[in-house]
Amino acid sequence: MIHSFLLFFLSFSGVRSLGVNYGQVGDNLPSPDKVLELLTSLKISKVRIYDTNPQILTSFANSNTELVVTIENEMLTQLLDPQQALQWVAIHIKPYFPAVRITGIAVGNEIFTGNDTVLMANLIPAMIAIHEALGELGLGSYIHVSTPTSLAVLEESFPPSAGSFKGEVSSYISQFLQFLSRTKAPFWINAYPYFAYKDNPDIISLDYALLNPMTYLVDPSTKLNYDNMLYAQVDAVIFGMARLGFDGIEVRVSETGWPSKGDLDEIGANSENAAIYNRNLLRRQLANEGTPLRPNSRLEVYLFALFNEDMKPGPTSERNYGLYHPDGTMAYNMGLSTSSASISLSSSATKDIEVADESW
């Protein structure tokens, strides 16, 4: 059977909890207005960017796209001063809102798993200063403040009920959770089953990492059934928070994805696995799934990433997480009709695409 005239990721139109990360570390990326055309054609209405690029903000005005913006790590020290934080919000947020639907500010990225203890100590005061600045400018009830955290912040992650934060950062995490609890903001986690599989391919099932339906792994303490690693990782964070005395804070996945290419030692990094991972994630989002610990709460997830970014440092995989090449062609076959599996970024990106039923 064939589902005709479906847009690539048509299901985004029915998946309100799935977004995408729009990185810009490349010298050949399309202009923001062309990116917006692509996002609109894909029915993607949630986007996270890694700065407050004024060109992107201007292009996204009146687009109905929800945007999470980022304060870069190197900016945090300046924002400890409430007046500097107020000025930052007045310059980078206030002029664009509400035409641009800014819903969140990510203060830094993966700071708790870095080696800079000064940056860790400055993080929460900077978040407080930004939150108070938003309130002073009348934006506090519209824009939440949080910080994306690597899963490496956990000391234990399996079984999920054993989830706990590393001792060396637990005091910072406790302050962070107090802030989230008080402001009703989410805990953002960058969760990549790919990394766990790459490091332990003889121990971790590829199906489990790729979110393929499989025989359940049972948590011995809770008796909850897990058929994929991503949900287990999220629940490990929830259990870790509970160990510090915090229940009820929402966890959102700020990044997850699978690379379509890698170096020889990057086991599992190939286009076939990337396509399977993203299809399975989309399928689960279509079903509005929650995790076994919170089955009635849809898990909000941001795919990493929209484009391959050719200037990213590190191993080959770092430059190959994108769903698309910068020219608008798909980075790998998602099970789409090959005659229509790309969208031009030089003209209006509104082409319909056929999807084979068996690929979904």
CA-nearest of 137, 134, 128, 64 to 100 is 64
For residue 353, the cross-strand partners are: 6
Q: Is 255 a catalytic residue?
A: yes
Pairing label, strands 164-165, 217-218: unpaired
Pairing label, strands 2-6, 251-256: unpaired
What the block records as the tokens of 346 is 């030089």
Cα–Cα distance list, 163 to 4, 190, 233, 252 (Å) = 44, 15, 9, 16
Q: What is the CA radius of gyration of the chain?
A: 20
Residue pair 55/32 in contact (Cβ under 8 Å)? The answer is: yes
For residue 218, the cross-strand partners are: 225
Q: Which of 66, 255, 266, 300 is catalytic?
A: 255
What is the end-to-end Cα distance of the chain in Å, rounded?
A: 11
Asked if residue 160 has a cis previous peptide bond (ω within 30° of 0), the answer is no
What the block records as the tokens of 127 is 């978040």
Question: In the 8-state DSSP scheme, what is residue 237?
Answer: H
Q: Which of 110, 136, 250, 318 is catalytic?
A: 110
Could you count the other beta carbons within 10 Å of the beta carbon of residue 260? 23
- The sign of the CA dihedral 10, 15, 16, 20 is negative
Reduce the DSSP state of residue 49 to 3 states and report it. Answer: strand
Residue pair 100/57 in contact (Cβ under 8 Å)? The answer is: yes
Q: Is 156 a catalytic residue?
A: no
Active site residues: 110, 255
